[in-house]
Amino acid sequence: MSDAPETPTVQAIEIQAAHWAQRRHFWPWSTEDQLALDAWLETSSAHRVAFVRMNAALLRTKRLAALQSIAPRRSGDTSHWLRSNKIAAAFIVAAVMAGLTSFTLLKPQGPTQTTYSTPKGGRQTIAFSDGSRVELNTDTVLRIEVGAKERHAWLDKGEAYFQIQHDAARPFVVTAGARRITDLGTKFLLRRDHKRLEVSLLEGRIKLDAQSGKKFSSTNLEPGETAIVTPDKIEIRRKSQAELVTKLGWRRGVVTFDQTTIADAIAEFNRYNKHKLVVGDSKAARITIGGTFDVNNVETFIDIARQDFGLHAVTQGDETVLSK
């Protein structure tokens, strides 16, 4: 090229970039190391581009390895190098996205923070002036802080559907425990139950950063993907459009079951109703059920359980026990 003769060759830059990337992933990483890397990246865009590429390759292979935990296994294929029990654990290894600016979890603070909450069975829609909307499902607590440089939400519990107008200068970030979701222009659904977080992306893109102990992983989700984050692993599953629509049934006040066990269906109903359903025995728990129900219409569900599945229903106060 026409540059000065001492300009390093493309090959030399790539080796250096690969060196930095793998060191950052697999070796102890100090502040000094980060500063040295930053200095190298600042030297030229060619350095930065090469580093972004190597880093992305490592993140991608790591993510593919994590996917193995949900891919179907072929029996008798013993030579398969991916057959490792540690695959899920491998995903938790430090993997901060290429940005490299220090990762800071934003603390809830400031006078502009607003808390929204819904009771059991409740729903609420929050509309923002920029056209963004957030819909809260039953039994949900969401805090929102709109700043000049960032829009931030904290999902403390429950489920919310986000339709966010993208603004590169003012990203929308949701924190749920040690997980952080950054929208890159998008529609997504978050459901948080205790230590489990489910992230479903319907449109656009989001980045999911998860923290486990001192380690981070960063994943970009594609539309149709659902990430299930538990303290020790992340699973990514592809969902059909129909499945995603079903997941959003609550926006219309319905839940849809398909080959769902009575135990799971009851757990779902109990999210919405004060009147609690309880499974009386394991035989009843294993029966599977299908159909769409009004979330608040426990009676219909009990009727069907009785008439179609021959279950006995005993109601006492705020609780109904279903048994075979």
Contact residues for other proteins (CB under 8 A)? 1-2, 10-11, 13-15, 18-19, 21-23, 25-28, 41-42, 44-46, 48-50, 52-62, 64-65, 67-68, 70-72, 80-82, 84, 86-87, 89-93, 97-101, 168, 171, 184, 205, 207, 220, 222, 224, 236, 238
| Least distance (Å) between residue 304 CB and other proteins | 36
Cβ of residue 16: shortest distance to other proteins, in angstroms? Answer: 9
Nearer to other proteins, 224 or 249 (CB): 224
Residue with smaller CB distance to other proteins, 65 or 313: 65
Give 75's contacts (C-beta < 8 A, 6+ positions apart). Answer: none
Q: How many CA atoms lie within 13 A of 203 on its CB side?
A: 10
**Residue 234 and residue 200 in contact, taking contact as beta carbons nearer than 8 Å:** no
Residue closer to other proteins by CB (options 41, 302) is: 41
CA distance 193 to 278: 19
Give all strands (DSSP E) within 42-178, no chain letters: 114-118, 124-127, 133-136, 140-146, 151-164, 172-176
The CB-of-63 to other proteins minimum distance in angstroms stands at 9
What is d(CA 301, CA 295) in angstroms, rounded to the nearest whole number? 10
Question: Please, which residue, 181 or 236, has the CB nearer to other proteins?
Answer: 236
Q: Which is nearer to other proteins, 193 or 222 (CB)?
A: 222
Q: Which two tokens stand for residue 259?
A: 């080959």
Q: Which is nearer to other proteins, 209 or 268 (CB)?
A: 209
Residue 117, classified by CB atoms within 10 Å of its CB into exposed (0-12), middle (13-18) or buried (19+), is middle
Retrieve residue 88's tokens: 């899920």
CB of 237 to other proteins, least distance (A): 8
Minimum distance of other proteins from residue 160's CB (angstroms) = 24
- To other proteins, the closest distance from the beta carbon of 165 in angstroms equals 15
CB of 235 to other proteins, least distance (A): 10
Report the side by side order of strands in the sheet with 319-323.
Answer: 276-279, 319-323, 312-316
Which C-beta is closer to other proteins: that of 21 or that of 142?
21
The CA-based angle 29-222-75, given to 5 degrees, is: 85
Between vectors from CA 157 to CA 156 and to CA 158, what angle results, nearest 5°? 145
